[in-house]
Structure 1
Amino acid sequence: MTPFALLYALHVLAATVWVGGMFFAWMVLRPAAVSVLQAPERLKLWADVFRRFFVWVWVAVLVLPVSGIGMWHMRFGALESAPRYVHIMAGLYLVMLALFLRIQLLQLPALKRAVAGEQWPEGGAVLGQIRRLVGINLVLGLLVIALASARPLF
């Protein structure tokens, strides 16, 4: 396996974990949790899901720029030599990272405090904020995947 192929594989796997996890949470887990769990159990579930999923998101958040910049350098040399779609992908990554950091550093601690204090209405409000940010990130992630698929790196 060439170094470029290894970086590409790591990049695709990291994106798949992050975006695929958001898709599963938004489209499958959330509706199922709403249909079978009461608010307290649902909030406890989401606090635990985020705790477990965000470990993998952190891995993706670290692997994506390392592999992406590595491929960028190997394929195009200087940063300004890359095509516009590569710059767009990098910019969208930064927006997605900012949204993830907002969830991780601001909303998730508030959700944990609400769950620990059994403040279910406050926890529900925070979960709603997280859901909106994850929804935005999911759309951005799908857009990046569509962009990457439409402009393969060969």
Structure 2
Amino acid sequence: MMFSEKRVFVVDQPVSREQLLTRLADSLLADGLVKDSFLGGVLAREKEYPTGIDMETHAIAIPHIEYEHVNHTGFAVAINRAGVEFHRTDDPALRVKPAIVVLMAIDPTCEKVAIVQSLFALLADVDAVNKISEYSPAEIAKTFFQAITTR
């Protein structure tokens, strides 16, 4: 299953970005969606190509890695109430505190551009992000499942 409430986490205690990404990646690994190399790849890519996105009214982060680390498409989601910081995609010297972090594991059968476009459509509006941030893990998984286009 691409989205599962088991892979939705509310982060309300201070953790590092690496700890947050490890928790998300471990949930994908536990479900067999990614290879053992996935977390290392995500952490290395995040250092070189950060994924924090400033949306002007709020921020999101969409970390990911290439498909060779992925068995099956799936997503893990963190509601970032602890204010974990991510470096910005457009200016890595700056940081944002994304309200929602979506760790993507995309296999080659899915269209990455369509997924990213549907994620942006869902997460572009600060009111929608605020609502999603208050949902239960089951409601969050359902919302993402209904909104994300993989082809």
For Structure 1 versus Structure 2, the TM-score category normalised by the shorter chain is under 0.3
Name the one with the larger strand percent.
Answer: 2
For the pair shown, the structure with the greater C-alpha radius of gyration is 1
Higher helix share: 1
Where relative contact order (Cα < 8 A, 6+ residues apart) is larger, the structure is 1
Q: TM-score normalised to the size of structure 1?
A: 0.26
Question: Normalization by structure 2: what TM-score?
Answer: 0.26
